[in-house]
């Protein structure tokens, strides 16, 4: 079977995200709107809308610093506002950029979680879903 005819029926893709401080990271993600679906001592499933990831109680600095996640949302301002109010609650520095219009036609911003994992949050218009 060639790749252009492959239809495996994929329904979900969940990356494993490293956590320097597992409990602090779980709290951070819940504070910004993710729902904790389940958790044990080493892994937590966090979900927002139809998007989710697995937070792991495991940390390699080089891996965390090179990881970038892209989250498409309907309105950048909503999550940005939550992040702005949330970061003031923590003693660790959280990197948070302002929302800007990118040359590729999307409004977006970047933030980093407590472990240094970078998230790029982009506002997706219905006509631009790629």
Read off the pLDDT of residues 1-10 as tens digits, 9 standing for 90 and up: 456 667 788 8
Q: Distance between CA atoms of 4 and 25, rounded to whole angstroms?
A: 39
pLDDT attached to residue 126: 62
Whether the predicted pLDDT of 30 surpasses 70:
yes
What digits encode the pLDDT tens for the residues 31-51?
999 999 999 999 999 999 999
> What pLDDT is attached to residue 4?
65
Location of structure tokens 């498409």: 72
80-115 CB burial, b ≥16 within 10 A, e <16: beebeebbeeeeeebeeeeeeeeeeebbbbebbbbb
Whole-number pLDDT of residue 2: 56
Query: What is the tens place of the pLDDT at every residue in 60-89?
Result: 999 999 999 999 999 999 999 999 998 888
Q: What is the pTM of this model?
A: 0.87
CATH number of this structure's domain 3-123: 3.10.180.10
């Amino acid at each position: 079977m060639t790749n252009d005819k492959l239809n495996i029926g994929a329904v979900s893709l969940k990356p494993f995200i490293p956590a320097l401080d597992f409990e602090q990271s779980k709290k951070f993600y819940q504070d910004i709107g993710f729902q904790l679906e389940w958790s044990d001592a080493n892994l937590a499933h966090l979900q927002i809308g139809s998007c989710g990831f697995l937070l792991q109680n495991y940390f390699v600095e080089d891996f965390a610093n090179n990881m970038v996640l892209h989250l498409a949302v309907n309105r950048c301002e909503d999550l940005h506002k939550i992040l702005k109010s949330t970061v003031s609650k923590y003693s660790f520095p959280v990197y948070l950029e302002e929302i800007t219009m990118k040359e590729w036609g999307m409004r977006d911003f970047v933030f980093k979680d407590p472990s240094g994992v970078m998230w790029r949050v982009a506002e997706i218009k219905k006509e631009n879903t790629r």
